[in-house]
Amino acid sequence: MSSENYSAEHLRYLRSLRLKALCVRGTQLLILVGLFVLWEIAASRGWINAFISSQPTRIWAAVVRLAREGELWKHLGWTVYETVLGFTIGTAVGIVIAVLLWWSAFFSKVMDPYIVVLNSVPKVALGPIFVVWLGTTITAVVAMAISVSIIVAIMMMHTGFKEVDPNLIKLVHTFGGTKGQVLRKVIIPASVPTMIAALKVNVGLSLVGTIVGEFLASKAGLGYLIIYGGQVFNMSLVMASVLLLLVVSVILYYAVTLLEQRVTRGRA
């Protein structure tokens, strides 16, 4: 087969891939638009109660009103800031603790039952405790986000450390490598995929923790808007806040995915 024929076939293959990806994205967009159109028609014609379910036009009007009053970016900013802060601290501290558990078998055995217990406790139950201890401040909200993400980071990273090929560790020891060198040269690089997976899980969990914290202790943020809208029976505000929350979660998830692509490209 000549190089020209090969190139033509390769180009056709790439075009087919792009076409398939475009079809997938187009179908996803059609489903989303269709759901909103059906929702609007159902509310307008009385098939569903627009007072308790709202409708897209009312939700859009609520978003526009928030933007006009200068409240939209304030509440979005608070939720994103608290989530990123809780996610960063919880994941970083969780990774450090996982390293300590890998480093010391004695420490790992001592802490194992406590980690299991902390993982099994519903984190929502800790919310009122944080409010009493830290007050109705951003600190309590961030603490809630940290409590949700830290245990997952510890367990996922510690498991990833233990699953590294022991032959690689033996090889480094054979050449006189120290435990610190094993950690830097073998354990951490081999656990990058696990670390990325932990980030993907934790970014969603941190957002959940933030919203729960805002339900209990915040005077700003999307969680606060949801609670306030429910109290005054403004379902358009509630639905707008929920949809904005979905947008934030998608953006944060794809930010981690972008980080994964850059790290993977650097390791390739």
Right CATH for 56-267 from 1.10.3720.10, 1.10.10.410, 3.40.50.720, 3.40.1280.10: 1.10.3720.10
Q: Give yes or no for a contact between 252 and 208, defined as CB atoms under 8 angstroms apart.
A: no
- Annotated domain spans of the chain: 3-48, 56-267
- Measured CA to CA, the distance from residue 139 to residue 108 in angstroms comes to 29
What is the pLDDT at residue 70?
Answer: 87
What is the pLDDT at residue 35?
Answer: 94
Planar angle of CA 245, 248, 251, nearest 5 degrees: 150
Kindly tell me if the per-residue pLDDT of 6 is higher than 60. Answer: no
Cβ count near 90 (within 10 Å): 26
What is the pLDDT at residue 239?
Answer: 93
Under DSSP, the state recorded for 176 is T
Q: Give yes or no for a contact between 253 and 200, defined as CB atoms under 8 angstroms apart.
A: yes
The pTM of this model reads: 0.85
The whole-number average pLDDT for the span 77-99 is 93
- Measured CA to CA, the distance from residue 202 to residue 210 in angstroms comes to 12
Residue 266 pLDDT class (50, 70, 90 cuts): low
Planar angle of CA 265, 267, 268, nearest 5 degrees: 65
Backbone angles phi, psi at 72, to 5 degrees: -60, -55
